[in-house]
Amino acid sequence: MDITFFLNRGMDAPLYLQLYQYFKENIHKGRIQKGMKLPSKRHLASQLSISQTTVERAYEQLAAEGYIVSKPRSGWFADYEESDFPDIPTACTGSIHPEPIENKQLIDFYYGNVDSARFPFSSWRKCMVNVLDRFGPELFHPGHVLGELELRTLITEHLYHSRSVRCLPEQVIIGAGNPVLMQILCKMFAPGSSIGFEDPGYPRTRKIFELNSMKVLPIPVDKEGIYIEKLQEDQPSLVYVTPSHQFPLGTVMSMNRRTQLLKWAAENESYIIEDDYEGEFRYSSLPVPSLQGQDLHNSVIYMGTFSKSLLPSLRISYMILPKPLIEKGREITSLYKQTVSCHSQLTLTEFIKCGEWQRHTNKMRKLYQRKRGILLEAIQSELGRNVKIRGENSGLHLMLDVYSAYLEKELIEKAEEHGVNIYPASPFYQTQPPASTIFLGFTGISEELIREGIGKLRAAWGL
């Protein structure tokens, strides 16, 4: 396979990133089909007059995101399912869960991205090789159904120091992303069980509960967190909360509300699902201890992920069960076996032990804080009093209430006409969605494009 591609050596973007974008775009457009062999590193380096290291970094990025796979002694091949990369329409009010829009001509403020160009691929690759050398043929065997013990132990140690979570390795279940762990969790409770769900809240998680025949009860939230009075009225068997950074509002649950919630759960023998999905990224205040760390009655199911601090495509998350659910959790998990490969788990273990994960997380926290500052400055400069910002003190996105004559759908359409993708807030609400509120993610977009994009929004909305 020969390719004709112009590498712009005058651009700020690294050559490997330009090459990665070329292959990714052609895979999405169907020009590189599943099973097609890519040029060898040596051949492509010679053809484009670049180093083999440049080609290798581009291929490793594509492999990490699930686009290609390396076959021993054969080379690199496109390896994806068409259903993984559907044509994605412009986000609108009626969608259940807005997805990033694949259009390279648009400035995309998608809130689910990370800055993957900063991922330390060479360090990750070194850890992968070390694991292969250390374990060899052992990696061919299925791993422990709960996950590799060494990784589960490291997770318990990290969470104790960083989030005040108290648990043992046997309470930890590793899974290929939170949706898989949510599926396992749903099977631990009887069909028709009621669950209180923050309103607004994450629509994909809500849909998983609904598909598992759970009765989802919308529970409103305010600046302190979920309404305890509504929980007392509805009496659900479970309640799902995001207390460290409420999704999508960005508020932090107050200590008083946390105490009330834990007391309610203990008195009613209900369980709290604490989703700490962005626990590493706070910018304006000290971290608040987890609900799990304050729980004295085994009422909290704690969930976390490496998707935000590493790469979403690695698909490594974890769930910590309270002691009364351990036996049931092990029984259900054994039916799924282990959804994350031993090699990936042990590579992450090595990555954590050598300090690379903490270094990378610290670096990304500083980078995202800088991008956040640029975004806030641009909004203040370009949009001023025409918008209200919400949720800017933590996490990887913020919300904008836009004061204009346009409604949500019109705001999105006008933005696209001016070359900017933004996303609706309404899918996150079960009741009373806002009329003109949009989402802006800032982690997967360059600092220059952040400024340019906000300027385009001012022009698009006539502010």
pLDDT at 100 over 70: no
Give the pLDDT score at 325: 96
Residue range 116-125: average pLDDT?
A: 91
Give the pLDDT score at 133: 92
Residue of 317 and 85 predicted with greater confidence:
317
Give the pLDDT score at 278: 72
Residue range 259-287: average pLDDT?
A: 83
Give the pLDDT score at 384: 92
Out of 1.20.1250.20, 3.40.50.150, 3.90.1150.10, 3.40.50.300, the CATH code matching 107-114+359-461 is 3.90.1150.10
pTM, two decimals, is 0.75
Same fold, 107-114+359-461 and 127-354: no
Give percent of the chain with pLDDT exceeding 90: 60
Give percent of the chain with pLDDT exceeding 70: 91
Residue range 165-184: average pLDDT?
A: 95
The topology (CATH level 3) of 127-354 is Aspartate Aminotransferase; domain 2 (3.40.640)
Residue range 55-79: average pLDDT?
A: 88
User: How confident is the prediction for the chain on average, in pLDDT?
Assistant: 88
Give the pLDDT score at 95: 47
Residue of 176 and 251 predicted with greater confidence:
176
Give the pLDDT score at 43: 87
**Domain spans in the chain, listed from the N-terminal domain onward:** 15-84, 107-114+359-461, 127-354
pLDDT at 395 over 80: no
For domain 15-84, which architecture applies? Orthogonal Bundle (1.10)
Residue range 115-125: average pLDDT?
A: 91
Give the pLDDT score at 313: 85
pLDDT at 320 over 60: yes
Write the pLDDT tens digit of every residue in 336-379.
888 999 999 999 999 999 999 999 998 988 998 899 999 999 99
Give the pLDDT score at 91: 37
Secondary structure of the chain as H, E, C letters: CCCCCCCCCCCCCCHHHHHHHHHHHHHHCCCCCCCCECCCHHHHHHHHCCCHHHHHHHHHHHHHCCCEEEECCCEEEECCCHHHCCCCCCCCCCCCCCCCCCCCCCEECCCCCCCHHHCCHHHHHHHHHHHHHHHHHHHHCCCCCCCCHHHHHHHHHHHHHHHCCCCCHHHEEEECCHHHHHHHHHCCCCCCCEEEEEECCCHHHHHHHHHCCCEEEEEEEECCEECHHHHHHHCCCEEEECCCCCCCCCCCCCHHHHHHHHHHHHHHCCEEEEECCCCCCECCCCCCCCHHHHCCCCCEEEEEECCCCCCHHHCCEEEECCHHHHHHHHHHHHHHCCCCCHHHHHHHHHHHHCCHHHHHHHHHHHHHHHHHHHHHHHHHHHCHHHEEEECCCECCEEEEEECCCCCHHHHHHHHHHCCEECEECHHHCCCCCCCCEEEEECCCCCHHHHHHHHHHHHHHHCC
Residue range 309-317: average pLDDT?
A: 88
